[in-house]
Amino acid sequence: MLELKNISFEVRDEQGAGSREILKDVSLCLEDREFMVITGPNGSGKSTLAKIIMGIVKPTRGQIVFDGTDITEADVTERARMRIGYAFQQPVRFKGINVSDLLRLAAGHELSNDQACRYLSEVGLCAVDYINREINASLSGGELKRIEIATLLARGTRLSVFDEPEAGIDLWSFQNLTRIFEKMRNDHNSAAIIISHQERILRIADTIVMLADGRVVKQGSRQEVMPYLMAHAEPCEIGKNFCPDLQRLA
Domain at 229, CATH number: 3.40.50.300
Beta bridge partners of 215: 212
Average pLDDT rounded to a whole number, residues 114-129:
87
Give the count of domains, the chain. Answer: 1
Cβ contact 181:194 at 8 Å:
yes
**What per-residue confidence (pLDDT) applies to 51?**
95
Please indicate, yes or no, if residue 179 is contained in any of the structural domains: yes
The contacts of residue 155 (CB under 8 Å, 6+ apart) are: 80, 83, 85, 106, 107, 108
Please indicate, yes or no, if residue 223 is contained in any of the structural domains: yes
Please indicate, yes or no, if residue 176 is contained in any of the structural domains: yes
Please indicate, yes or no, if residue 217 is contained in any of the structural domains: yes
H-run or E-run covering 181: helix 171-188
Q: Is 60 exceeded by the pLDDT of residue 237? A: no
Please indicate, yes or no, if residue 35 is contained in any of the structural domains: yes
Please indicate, yes or no, if residue 198 is contained in any of the structural domains: yes
SS3 136: coil
**What per-residue confidence (pLDDT) applies to 122?**
85
Quote the pTM value: 0.84
pLDDT 10s digits, 8-57: 999 987 666 678 899 999 999 999 999 999 999 888 999 999 999 999 99
Please indicate, yes or no, if residue 154 is contained in any of the structural domains: no
Q: Which domain holds residue 8?
A: 2-87+161-249
Please indicate, yes or no, if residue 100 is contained in any of the structural domains: no
